[in-house]
Amino acid sequence: MEYYVGLDVSLKQTSICVVDQTGSVVREGVVDSDPEAISVYVRSKAPGAVRIGLETGPTSTWLWTELKRFGLPVICIDARHAKAVLKMQINKNDRNDAIGIARIMQTGWFKEVHVKDIDSHSVRALLASRALLVKIKRDLENHVRGLLKNLGLVIGRATFNVFAARAEELIEGRPDLVAAVEQQVSELDRKVMKLARRDAQVQRFMTVPGVGPITALAFKATIDDPARFARSRSVGAYVGLTSRRHASGEIDWSGRISKCGDAMLRSYLFEAAGVLLTRVPKWSTVKAWGMRLAKRNGLRKAKVAVARKLAVILHRMWIDGTEFNWSKKEIAA
């Protein structure tokens, strides 16, 4: 007999439901949210389970990885898709959610979510920590600027070193805090550069104008497996850089970009596009295309379009194992 299992995971306990091929509930239970405990229950109550489903969540990567290691056919589904189905239930609780997930597995009405490996999550954790420290440094710097303005002192535009030296002359203690954060950011920057130097694919990504080690590492860690995209153009939609569309009957309109997917990678691609359009002096077809867009639609929209283009180019380079192709003006003409 075929069995389908639904897992409703919380931090301490996991509700488990087993249904057969007709959707009838066969077994129900609650175990600790531990991969080994879940594996023992599933093997004893649902031997030969066809699909085991769980939603995306804080511990889904760990549980999915460990259950896969135990040889179980576990599938991770988008929590938003599961919510769209489970909200039809009158009574919401962990038991009913597990039943609903099990029946989603039984019907096959789901889209599997790609679960990144642990190495990719480690790189993303490093980049997220650096981004947080950069934000803290910026907030502290702006706070110091605000304090100085109350005293009639304006630092003006300055690099960090000049800012710290000028602020140290005027306020005691505060620059030491900013300098401490800057030191931590520098340490993380060194770790990022070390990772980038060791990774051949990241080095190839960095041949793209405007793309540095942080953007390259963020792209590699977020995409994780380039083969899961059949077309490179799908990557732009994955990171939320394509416009929303609503079409129904006579109504058909396109809105602003969806902003789905990873916000950190999207912001880095947007910054890379800005660098390409405004700071990179060397000519390329991507820059020429972006500058034409900027003249017609404005620089901000051009940056968004070029960011999407960079995502597509980086994915194609990853698939082909090539570096960025600097085309010549004569060939483009």
Residues 179-227: tens digit of each pLDDT: 676 778 888 889 999 999 999 999 999 999 999 999 999 999 999 999 9
Mean pLDDT of the region 262-267? 94
Domain boundaries, the chain: 3-107, 118-198, 216-332
pLDDT at 166: 61
Q: What is the Cα–Cα distance from 144 to 182, expressed in whole angstroms? A: 15
Q: For 74-118, write each residue's pLDDT tens digit.
A: 999 999 889 888 888 888 899 999 999 999 999 998 989 999 988
**Is the per-residue pLDDT at 178 higher than 70?**
no
Residues sharing a CB contact under 8 Å with residue 248, sequence separation 6 or more, in sequence order: none
pLDDT at 159: 58
DSSP 141-199: HHHHHHHHHHTT----S--HHHHHHHHHHH-SSHHHHHHHHHHHHHHHHHHHHHHHHH-
Mean pLDDT of the region 242-251? 85
Mean pLDDT of the chain: 88
**Is the per-residue pLDDT at 175 higher than 60?**
no
Q: What is the Cα–Cα distance from 247 to 254, expressed in whole angstroms? A: 9
Least confidently predicted of 4-8, 43-47, 253-257, 319-323: 253-257
**Domain over 3-107 is classified CATH 3.30.420.40:** yes
The H or E element spanning position 54 is: strand 51-55
Q: What is the Cα–Cα distance from 326 to 177, expressed in whole angstroms? A: 44
Q: What is the Cα–Cα distance from 30 to 221, expressed in whole angstroms? A: 34
pTM as predicted: 0.81
* Alpha helices for 199-284 (secondary structure H): 200-205, 213-223, 234-238, 263-278
Q: At what angle do helices 118-150 and 174-198 cross, to 10 degrees?
A: 150
User: Quick check: 217 and 127 in contact, CB under 8 A?
Assistant: yes
Phi, psi of 158 (to 5 degrees): -165, 150
pLDDT band at 330 (very low <50, low <70, confident <90, very high): very low
Q: For 63-84, write each residue's pLDDT tens digit.
A: 999 999 999 999 999 998 898 8
How crowded is residue 239: how many other Cβ atoms within 10 Å of its Cβ?
26
